[in-house]
Amino acid sequence: MSDLVKTPMQYLDKATNALRDLGLAPAKTEDAPINALLEQISELDQDKIAVIARTLGQASVFNEVVREQTAAMDIGSRYQDIAHGFNSIRDDAKKMVDQISDGKIDVLERVTNAWMKISRGDIADRFDKIKATYLEVSRSTKDQIKREAIILEAYRDFRGALKQAEILALEVLKTAEARLAASKARLDAAAGAVSGFSGSDPADRARLELVRDEELRAMQNEDKRYQIAKDLSDNLTISYNTSEVVMARLMQTTNAKERVYAQSVSFFSTNDSVLTALKASFTGMFGLHESTQTLEVMKEGMSKSLEALADMGDKVQEAAVRAGYGPTIRADSVKKLVDSVVNFQEKSIAIVDEMRKLSTQNSAEIRDAVEDGKRRIAKLIAEGKALGVNG
pLDDT at residue 16, rounded to an integer = 72
Residues 383 and 263 reside in one and the same domain: no
Residues 284 and 340 reside in one and the same domain: no
Residues 79 and 117 reside in one and the same domain: yes
DSSP letters of 19-59? HHHTT-S-S--PPPTTHHHHHHTGGG-HHHHHHHHHHHHHH
Nearest Cα to 309, choosing from 301, 299, 297?
301
Number of domains into which the chain is organized: 2
| Model pTM above 0.85 | no
**What gap in Å lies between CA 125 and CA 69, rounded to an integer?**
34
Residues 210 and 151 reside in one and the same domain: yes
Residues 340 and 303 reside in one and the same domain: no
The residue range of the domain holding 351 is 333-391
- Decide if 47 is inside a domain: yes
Residues 162 and 218 reside in one and the same domain: yes
Choose the final residue of a domain: 242, 275, 310. Answer: 310
pLDDT at residue 208, rounded to an integer = 92
Choose the final residue of a domain: 242, 276, 310. Answer: 310
Residue 191's alpha-carbon distances to 47, 185, 199, 200, 319, in angstroms, are 35, 10, 16, 18, 144
Residues 303 and 367 reside in one and the same domain: no
**What gap in Å lies between CA 49 and CA 236, rounded to an integer?**
13
C-alpha dihedral sign at 38, 44, 50, 55:
negative
Q: Which residues contact 112 (CB under 8 A, 6 or more apart)?
A: 95
Q: What is the pLDDT along the chain (391 residues), one digit of tens a residue?
A: 455 556 766 777 776 776 677 666 655 555 667 777 888 888 888 888 888 887 777 776 676 766 666 665 555 566 566 666 667 667 666 666 555 555 555 556 555 655 565 556 566 676 777 777 777 777 777 777 777 777 777 777 777 778 888 888 899 999 999 999 999 999 999 999 999 988 888 999 999 999 999 999 999 999 998 999 999 889 888 877 877 776 777 677 777 777 777 777 776 667 666 666 666 666 666 666 666 666 666 777 677 777 766 777 677 777 777 777 777 777 787 788 788 878 878 888 888 888 878 888 888 888 888 888 888 887 887 777 555 544 4
**What gap in Å lies between CA 151 and CA 153, rounded to an integer?**
5
- Decide if 258 is inside a domain: yes
Residues 140 and 287 reside in one and the same domain: yes
Helix axes of 123-195 and 78-100: crossing angle, nearest 10 degrees: 150
- Decide if 317 is inside a domain: no
Residues 68 and 213 reside in one and the same domain: yes
Residues 355 and 303 reside in one and the same domain: no
**What gap in Å lies between CA 30 and CA 36, rounded to an integer?**
13
- Decide if 299 is inside a domain: yes
pLDDT at residue 213, rounded to an integer = 93
pLDDT at residue 183, rounded to an integer = 92
pLDDT at residue 382, rounded to an integer = 75
- Decide if 322 is inside a domain: no
Residues 264 and 350 reside in one and the same domain: no
Nearest Cα to 296, choosing from 109, 113, 101, 104?
104
- Decide if 357 is inside a domain: yes
Residues 145 and 274 reside in one and the same domain: yes
pLDDT at residue 269, rounded to an integer = 67
According to the 3-state scheme, what is the secondary structure of 97-133? HHHHCCCCCCHHHHHHHHHHHHHHCCHHHHHHHHHHH
- Decide if 328 is inside a domain: no
